[in-house]
A and B are shown apart, each in its own frame.
Chain A
């Protein structure tokens, strides 16, 4: 199947700093990318939907100024966690959809804020 690559796989950062997570579709053009977060033993929660070249649509309760999403090309979307705090520690997962394809997920990024 198609490949979606996330980078980094894990990151530890200090409280108050910002962290950028990249999501790339390696072998197809992603018309839409989604960002999820997942806490231990819980399901994935959708944070935002992004379409190439337009502003992301955030789910209710997700701060758009804290979780900056950029989808500058059909193969790359980035999520920047600004001024990270320990409660932002989580597993972040992106997924990408092409034209008439199922969703393909990245391997996830484990963020730990200390």
Chain B
């Protein structure tokens, strides 16, 4: 299973764009990159998933360079309610995820 490394914590202000980068140097050919958001006392919630290049949905964008050894989750115009822990996970379908410590994002007013 590919190991991921991401910043332990980040601070931002309301209305700013937040970019969280994740390193996954030993990503395998069949692996996808998936980001989850977790609020206290709740299960992780799916944000976005990608394999290469750029993926965008209604809440976030995911940028993946050609070598796929890293990825960047971009949250446009964050609000206080985006304060949460964000996990970058790498794996193929059917595989269990190994959770790292995630990135604790604090959005300040």
- Does A97 sit within 8 A of B, measured CB to CB? yes
Q: Which of the residues A46, A93, A110 comes within 8 Å of B98, measured between beta carbons?
A: A46
Contact B44 A105 (CB under 8 A): yes
Contact B46 A102 (CB under 8 A): yes
Contact A44 B44 (CB under 8 A): yes
Number of interface residues of B (CB under 8 A): 20
Contacts of B42 in A (CB 8 A): 107-108
Q: Which of B36, B43, B93 has the most CB of A within 10 A?
A: B43
- Does B109 sit within 8 A of A, measured CB to CB? no
Beyond A32-B94, A97-B93, whether A105 also contacts B43 by CB under 8 A is yes
Q: Is the interface of B mostly helix, strand, loop or mixed?
A: loop
Contact B101 A43 (CB under 8 A): yes
Number of interface residues of A (CB under 8 A): 28
- Does A67 sit within 8 A of B, measured CB to CB? no
Identify 27 residue pairs between A and B in the complex whose beta-carbon atoms are under 8 Å apart, listed by A's number. Answer: A31-B94, A32-B96, A34-B97, A36-B99, A43-B87, A43-B101, A44-B44, A44-B99, A45-B99, A49-B96, A93-B43, A93-B44, A95-B43, A97-B93, A101-B93, A102-B32, A102-B46, A102-B49, A103-B34, A103-B46, A103-B97, A104-B46, A105-B36, A105-B43, A105-B46, A107-B42, A108-B42
B positions within 8 Å CB-CB of A: 32, 34, 36, 41-46, 49, 87, 93-94, 96-102
